[in-house]
Structure 1
Amino acid sequence: MIAMQYSFTLPADYDMSIIDRRIRDKGPMLDGFPGIGFKAYLSARTGEFGSRENLYAPFYLWQQPERASDFLTSPGFEGLTQSFGWPQVKTWIVWHAETAPSLAEASFAREETITIEPYSSLAEIRDEEIRRAQRQARQADVVASVSAFEPTSWTAVRFSLYRSAPSIAGADQIYRVGHVSLP
């Protein structure tokens, strides 16, 4: 299982209703995509929930990693790059992912990236991140909790989907969820 995200930073005066319309119109096209755990169509607006930028930043959980390749080589992704440019696609090895049956009710997302210090015990970090994700998944408002790591930059991501707006903490990025595509 892998997690994947790309992000487009848009100008401060960008009409974000264009992104809202794109999500509304194109979001359902990935419903039922083979191998997907979920795709959360995310956006953030400058100044809202502490965001410093306008962002369009979909987040994916892939049950079958080869299906991520199928998506990235698809006409849909090609069309996205023609509209917004060639993004850096971040990928993470998933340590733990839990989703609730009510996943489609997600309205907000929180993403936190943490640095893994050199020579840390990866097994201990993984075990603690799994426990943290499991605890978080039991919260009433949480409909998904993902913990994953990326060994090139030695970072970990904590990604969660919520029914209502979560509290802002530290450098977390809060997003609005426009649509969730499910298997």
Structure 2
Amino acid sequence: MNAMQYKITLPNDYDMNIIKERIYKNGSKTDGFTDLLLKAYLVIDTKVKKQYSPLYIWQGNIGMNKFIFDGFYDNILSSFGWQKINIAIPFIINISNSIKDSRYVLEIGHNIAETDKMKKPTFSKSFDNSLGSLLLYNPDKWKYVEFHFFENKPTNQLGCSQIYQIFHISTQ
């Protein structure tokens, strides 16, 4: 199982309706995509930050390889240029069908400190109103990230990295 995300930061004067329309027209194309457990089309649209950051959870590498190398990722390249794809390993996946009701994602990033004895990463907090959560880690960068999905916009009570708006969720 793999996770991947690319974060496309756009100029502050960029019309984010272009991204929202793109998702509206094309988001369903990844519904049922080979090996795709989840794709969340994530957007930040504030006065100080504009970002398109889709998040993928792949059940296997066949679908991920197909997406990257068989022409699908070429749409990102032709629209936004070369993008770094962040790869992580899913450690905890708590999702159900209700995740499709999510409209917001809270992202909380953590460093994994050098140690003599490894400890499993854990969620920093549980949320009663969360519709799903993911904990992903990357031992190449010694970081882990938790994602919490909500129907209503959460407050940034933990000093999290980001609060994203979701414009579509694709599942199996």
Q: TM-score range by the shorter chain?
A: over 0.9
Alignment match, 1:56: 52
Deviation at 1:100, TM superposition (A): 2.0
Structure 1 residue 66, shift from structure 2 partner = 3.0
- Superposition map of 1:35-54 within 5 A: 35-47=35-47, 52-54=48-50
- 1:72 aligned counterpart, secondary structure: helix
Which one of the candidate residues 49, 52, 64 is aligned to 1:68? 64
Question: Quick check: 1:125 aligned with 2:138?
Answer: no
Gaps of 5+ in 2: none
Partner of 2:108: 112
1:155 has 2:146 as partner: no
Query: Residue by residue, what CA displacement relative to the aligned partner does 1:40-90 show, whole Å, maximum 9, x if unpaired?
Result: 00100124xxxx410000001111133211111132210121101111100
**3-state SS in 2 of match to 1:22:** helix
Give the drift of 1:105.
0.8
Q: 1:85 aligns with which of 74, 81, 86?
A: 81
Amino acid at match of 2:90: V
Q: Which has the higher helix share?
A: 1
TM-score (norm 2): 0.92
CA, structure 1 residues 160+74, in 2 after alignment: closer, same or farther (shift >3 Å)? farther
Q: Which is further off, 76-85 or 18-27?
A: 76-85
| TM-score normalised to structure 1 length | 0.87
Report the aligned-residue RMSD: 1.7
Alignment correspondent of 1:103: 99
Unmatched 5+ residue regions in structure 1?
A: none
Q: Distance in 2 between matches of 1:34 and 1:45?
A: 30
Shift of 1:6: 0.2
Percent sequence identity is 30
CA distance in 2: counterparts of 1:164 and 1:120, whole angstroms: 41
2:34–2:62 CA contact under 8 A, matched in 1? no
Q: Partner amino acid for 2:159?
A: G
Residue 120 of structure 1, CA deviation: 5.6
Distance 1:121 1:3 in 2: 25
Partner of 1:125, secondary structure, is coil
Supply the distance in 1 between the matched residues of 2:154 and 2:51 (Cα, whole angstroms). Answer: 18
